[in-house]
Structure formats: C-alpha cells, structure tokens
Amino acid sequence: MATAKYHANTALKRNSYYDVALDELEECLTSASTIEQEVDAKELSQEIDRFLDSLDQESRVMFVARYWYSDSITEIAKRLRTTNNNVSVRLSRIRSKLKNHLQKAGYDL
C-alpha cells in the first residue's frame, strides 16, 4: 500500500504530522476483506450466475431488475405487462429456489 512505501522511505526521518495524517487516511483505504473472503464472494457470485442461468428469461429479468437495479415491483410489473401481485409471488418463489440452490451447493443460510 502507498502508506507502507511512505513509511519505508521515511523510516529514518520520521515526520509525526504526516504519519498521523496517513494513519488516519489508511483507516479509510484499508480493505476489511481478506483474500479468502474475496474468493468466497466470487464463488458465491458464480453460483448465483449458475442459478440465474437455470431460470426462464422472464424470471431472470424480474430477479435482476429487482435485486440488481432495485426496480420497484410496480416498475417490473409495468415492464413485463403483468400485475404487482404476480411479480411479488414470482420473486418470492425465485428467492425460495435460490435459497434451496445455494443450500444444495453447500452454503449455510
């Protein structure tokens, strides 16, 4: 990280003003996730992609519109020319299927 390079370059001539400022900034820039967490997130993302591939096109559109683009139920219903209730029920069923799919893939939910 840039702050580590700065600290290495200035180890002999410490300037506490800059050290304190960089330490404060480092709290904002340091990633809280580990490599293992990033790998897990990527694997989960790939598993969700596999699940989405198993859905029919309209269900996939509903899911992505709602959970990626945060479209409202009403917006989705208008786009797909169906009722709000139909969209709500289908999204509920899709979530249930996703949960089962992830559990079968070994994810603890």
| pLDDT 10s digits, 47-76 | 999 999 999 999 999 999 999 999 999 999
User: For residues 25 and 21, what is the distance between their CA atoms, to the nearest angstrom?
Assistant: 6
- Give residue 40's pLDDT band: very low, low, confident or very high (50, 70, 90): confident
Query: What is the model's pTM?
Result: 0.68
Q: Average pLDDT for residues 77-102, to the nearest whole number?
A: 96
Q: Compute φ and ψ for 27, nearest 5 degrees.
A: -60, -30
Tokens 């139920």, located at residue: 73
State the pLDDT at residue 1.
Answer: 44
Better-scored residue on pLDDT, 57 or 29? 57
User: What is the enclosing helix (H) or strand (E) of 54?
Assistant: helix 35-54
- Per residue in 6-28, pLDDT tens? 455 555 455 565 566 666 666 66
